């Protein structure tokens, strides 16, 4: 019974992560200038890497990352850390986004997701609990 709840919890976390990424993309099309260098995307390409880490005893299960509406999903992960392959967000890309879901060992378990653009940490997000989920996005 507990395992069934956990699987449902992970499913809910994945759905929440995907919804958050989509909402982030939609909101990037607004006039919000947070982290924006003039809107409409940048005039040059950027090298991007996402990194995630969970507290000891916890495990990362799935990840998603990409730019604008071009996202990659990774399933079947395990362990306490994950790093995306470096990818290039092309000139004109508006935003990058990524996130992970996993299982915490207890209610005080944590997850941290970071986005690096051109080798520089731009943003990070955290989450906690037994169902771990965190997403981060950065607008050019």
Give the model confidence (pLDDT) of 74-124 as tens digits.
Answer: 999 999 999 999 999 999 999 999 999 999 999 999 999 999 999 999 999
What pLDDT, on the 0 to 100 scale, is given for residue 43?
86
Region of residue 43 (phi > 0: left; psi between -120 and 50: alpha; otherwise: beta): alpha
Q: Is the pLDDT of residue 8 over 90?
A: no
Kindly report the average pLDDT of the chain as a whole number. 83
Q: What is the pTM of this model?
A: 0.74
The predicted pLDDT at position 26 comes to 45
Give the residue among 1, 10, 8 at the shortest CA–CA distance from 111.
10
The whole-number pLDDT of residue 7 equals 60
């Amino acid at each position: 019974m507990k395992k069934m709840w956990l699987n449902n919890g992970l499913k809910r976390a994945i759905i929440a992560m995907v919804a958050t990424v989509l909402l982030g993309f939609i909101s990037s099309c607004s006039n919000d200038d947070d982290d924006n260098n003039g809107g409409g995307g940048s005039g040059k390409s950027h090298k991007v890497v996402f990194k995630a880490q969970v507290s000891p005893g916890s495990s990362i299960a799935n990840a998603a990352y990409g730019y604008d509406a071009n996202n990659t999903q990774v399933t079947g992960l395990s362990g306490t850390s994950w790093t995306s392959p470096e990818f290039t967000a092309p000139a004109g890309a508006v935003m990058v986004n990524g996130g992970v879901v996993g299982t915490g060992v207890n209610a005080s378990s944590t997850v941290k997701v970071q986005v690096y653009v051109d080798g520089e940490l731009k943003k990070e997000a955290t989450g906690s609990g037994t169902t771990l989920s965190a997403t981060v996005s950065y607008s050019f």
